Amino acid sequence: MRLIVFTDLDGTLLDHQTYDAQPARPMLERLAARDVPVILASSKTAAEIAVWQQALDLTRWPAIVENGAALAEGPFDDSAYRRIRAALAEIGAPFQGFGDMDTVELAALTGLTPEAAALARTRAHSEPGLWQGTEAALPAFLDALKTRGITARRGGRFLTLSFGGTKAGRMTELAARFGADTTIALGDAPNDAEMLAAADHAVVVRNDHGPGVAPLPDETRVIRTRAPGPEGWREGMAAVLDRLGIGETDG
């Protein structure tokens, strides 16, 4: 059995408020001992993800960035981002993207440190932001984006614009690349639902700070944790490995 793990970061592998991952580290070490790829899958940029790959000892694996718009590998290329920004300028709708904010504004909005906010603004493939118009006007904005090949996905407070690509699609791509026959996905929010639904085994980490994940098409392969954040991550992964018959001492 060849496993591969895909995990969201904020509120899943990282504590929602402190960004601590300590409770999950013994499980990460257990997976590393089995040479199981652990793929970070997040709305974060490649620059942000690189920090966490280093901190969590996951630098040997690629990462899914900007909510599935791309993989974090290869040279930096922000041509897609510049096309999105050009389309927004052409449409002229009341949408405030990260590119419309300076680092101080973004830090205040997100609670990130100024240093982290600067990394979040280093975008290449997608543009998160706030819709500041009326709900009645939103469909026309989405239609204008669609005619330009741009999709919009809501994740938490932000509407994220990109030229496509999802966490689920990238999961399939990487599972094939690494020859994995069993996929495990962990997440805590609606924008993780497609990835969770596509995995062989899904862990929905308890979310006390948002709507969480609605029931998935096949809940029989879903584990919903009692604990939130990295403690829930450890709990869910342990349950999946137990379900697969993989003990702590198995090679």
- Residue 128 pairs with which residues in a beta bridge? 160
In what helix (H) or strand (E) does residue 174 lie, and over which residues does it extend? Answer: helix 167-177
Q: Which residues contact 232 (CB under 8 A, 6 or more apart)?
A: 12, 188, 203, 205, 206, 225, 226
Residues 8, 15, 188, 192: which is the catalytic one?
Answer: 8
Q: What is the DSSP letter of 165?
A: -
Strands annotated E in the chain: 3-7, 38-40, 64-65, 70-71, 95-97, 126-131, 151-155, 158-162, 182-187, 201-206, 222-228
Confirm whether 8 is a catalytic residue. yes
Active site residues: 8
